[in-house]
A = this chain, B = another copy of it.
Amino acid sequence: MKIVVQEGLFDPWAEVAAYQRDHLPAGKHGGTVVFVGTMRDFNDGYEGIRAMFLEHYPGMTERHLEKVCQDAMERWDVLDCMVVHRVGEIRPDEPIVLVAVWSEHRAMAFDACRFIINDLKSRAPFWKREATPQGERWVEHNTQDPNAA
């Protein structure tokens, strides 16, 4: 399991490839599901968003994500999982979050990946401040996944 909260830009596909190469035993995982959240240049009716700033609660964020991943691994018989989340200044088209889940079968990987990102979006202590053409604003709520577990 790998949980990282970092300021620097990351390449989600390279991260998944490297983690899989270094940590997953060969021939045991049949299904991998990866979610990547990328910054859009529009949100909640605001267009032309230039940047956003992501704040977090150092310590609690990592601890919360670890617990959620452990829960998911037990509940769905997941082999391994990984979460990378950026903080600090982020620009449109940059990745914000990566969730990767490896399991024997696809159903478990889909369920576990969705569970982790839904929990992350509703419970992990991160907050977005957007720089819109009309000034800065705290984003007040995340969109709900209608299929949230």
> Which residues of A line the B interface, CB within 8 A?
11, 13-14, 16-17, 26-42, 92-93, 104-107, 109-111, 113-114, 117, 143, 145-147
Is the pair B40, A28 in contact by a Cβ cutoff of 8 Å? yes
Q: Compute how far the CA of A110 lies from the CA of B106 in the bound complex, rounded to whole angstroms.
A: 12
Least CB separation from A15: chain B residue: B13
Is the pair A34, B33 in contact by a Cβ cutoff of 8 Å? yes
B contact residues around A11 at 8 Å (CB): 17
Is the pair B40, A29 in contact by a Cβ cutoff of 8 Å? yes
Least CB separation from A25: chain B residue: B93
Least CB separation from A28: chain B residue: B40
A15 to chain B, nearest CB (A): 9
Is the pair B31, A35 in contact by a Cβ cutoff of 8 Å? yes
Least CB separation from A43: chain B residue: B30
With beta carbons under 8 angstroms apart, the residue of B14, B30, B111 that contacts A17 is B14
B contact residues around A38 at 8 Å (CB): 29-32
B contact residues around A34 at 8 Å (CB): 32-36
With beta carbons under 8 angstroms apart, the residue of B30, B41, B113, B145 that contacts A40 is B30
Is the pair A27, B92 in contact by a Cβ cutoff of 8 Å? yes
A36 to chain B, nearest CB (A): 4
* Besides A14-B17, A34-B35, A35-B110, 13 other A-B contacts (C-beta < 8 A): A11-B17, A26-B41, A26-B92, A27-B42, A28-B40, A29-B38, A30-B38, A32-B35, A32-B36, A35-B109, A40-B104, A105-B143, A107-B147
